[in-house]
Amino acid sequence: MSLVFRNLLKKVGSGAHTHQDLTRAEAAMALKLMLEQTATPAQIGAFLIAHRIKRPTTAEMAGMLDTYQELGPKVAAIESASPVMILSQPYDGRDRTFPLSPLTALVLASAGIPVLQHGGDRMPTKEGVPLIDLWRALGVDWSRVPLEQVSICLAKAHLGFVYLPRHFPAAQGLVPYREQIGKRPPIATLELIWNPYQGASHLVAGFVHPPTETIIRDALYLHGVQEFTTVKGLEGSCDLPRERTAIIGLGRHQPEPWQRLRLHPQDYGMNSSNIPWTTLSEAGEAMQQVLTGEPHPLTASVLWNSGFYLWQGGKAATLTEGMALSQDLLCSGTVRQHCQRLQAVVEQL
């Protein structure tokens, strides 16, 4: 099979003028051979950097997603009035701005919107703070939860997490190559659109560059996904910025299949600098202050972000109402109590 992979490598790595794009099936095969370590280490490293230089196509990204869906872990569907929201984040974390995703997920969960996330430990190339460490700072260690128990946690506490090293060791096996090639490979984009949940869901994917958003959108369309959201968020995440206009793509069944949404923070009294990232210990203290209702600059960013997702999740008719609901949930102690409930559920599992 290494000969098969060599032919695929030759197609993507033949240079600017002679390279060829892979078909969807070929891209799926290439990733499968890498995940199964059938390709040699030299071939894997060469493919990842050559594919980055060539730039992935929509069909290639759809094919790689085929393989993740075939080989990756699967979280069983739960009974829920709301689709599970998949808040995807770059696996290599954040190092400039404060990640809002865990607190946003807690707000949504306390309002009845289940949230599923996935990721691993600190990862090249950025080596920023990963979601798993932020959750630990909140008293929730997802690395201890077996895969079959993730759906139970999702049903009981409206929150779940797929931990790459434990639940998808084949994908974890490609992490060292990121350090060795020194560049983020196209599978970093794949991770933003991978959805391990088996029931009704709403995927949210962040992006930095417009061409990446186009690939994300069209690859999801090839997979028959119609309900999703893209966000030009903080450091490629799905966290809404406050110092600039939030550029958002809405993939919807009706009334139009694709809509562009631009939210100006100043229109909602939310224009300000984004909260900078400092240390994990300080982040833990800040998140606890938000949960307990103590004044903190982070609170406004959480209201802005969670208000948007409450709106998109159908719990509020407008963004303004979503921010008001988020504030009520935080000020009443509902979100803090839900965090405590989540801690108890995870401990039991």
Read off the pLDDT of each residue in 242-253 and give the average, rounded to a whole number.
96
Contact between 322 and 329 under an 8 Å Cβ cutoff? The reply is no
Per-residue pLDDT, 14 = 87
Read off the pLDDT of each residue in 104-115 and give the average, rounded to a whole number.
98
Per-residue pLDDT, 349 = 84
Contact between 293 and 330 under an 8 Å Cβ cutoff? The reply is yes
| pLDDT above 90: residue 327 | yes
| pLDDT above 90: residue 254 | no
Per-residue pLDDT, 257 = 85
Q: How far is CA 341 from the centre of its chain?
A: 24
Per-residue pLDDT, 65 = 98
Per-residue pLDDT, 27 = 98
Cα 176 from Cα 91, distance rounded (Å)? 13
13, exposed or middle or buried, with CB in 10 Å at 0-12, 13-18, 19+?
Answer: middle
pLDDT category at 15 given cuts 50, 70, 90 is confident
Per-residue pLDDT, 115 = 98
Per-residue pLDDT, 306 = 98
pLDDT single digits (tens) 26-49: 999 999 999 999 999 999 999 999
pLDDT single digits (tens) 177-196: 999 999 999 999 999 999 99
Read off the pLDDT of each residue in 77-86 and give the average, rounded to a whole number.
97
Q: In what order do the strands lie in the sheet with 228-231?
A: 159-163, 115-119, 84-87, 201-206, 228-231, 246-251, 258-263
Per-residue pLDDT, 173 = 97
Read off the pLDDT of each residue in 285-295 and give the average, rounded to a whole number.
97
pLDDT single digits (tens) 50-76: 999 999 999 999 999 999 999 999 999
Read off the pLDDT of each residue in 202-223 and give the average, rounded to a whole number.
97
Helix or strand (DSSP H, E) at 115: strand 115-119
**Strand-pair category, 201-206 with 84-87:** parallel
Per-residue pLDDT, 37 = 95
Per-residue pLDDT, 285 = 98
Instruction: Kindly state the tokens that stand for 295.
Output: 């004044």
| pLDDT above 80: residue 2 | no
pLDDT single digits (tens) 291-300: 999 999 999 9
Per-residue pLDDT, 147 = 97
pLDDT category at 256 given cuts 50, 70, 90 is confident
For the chain, the residue count is 349
Read off the pLDDT of each residue in 200-213 and give the average, rounded to a whole number.
97
Contact between 282 and 98 under an 8 Å Cβ cutoff? The reply is no
Residue with tokens 């060539």: 54
Question: What per-residue string of b and e applies to 239-270 under the rule 16 or more CB within 10 Å gives b?
Answer: bbbbeeebbbbebeeeeeeeeeeebebeebeb
Per-residue pLDDT, 155 = 98
Read off the pLDDT of each residue in 135-142 and give the average, rounded to a whole number.
98
In order, the DSSP letters of 181-198 are H-S--THHHHHHH---B-
- Longest Cα–Cα distance in the chain: 62
| Residues above pLDDT 90, as percent of the chain | 95
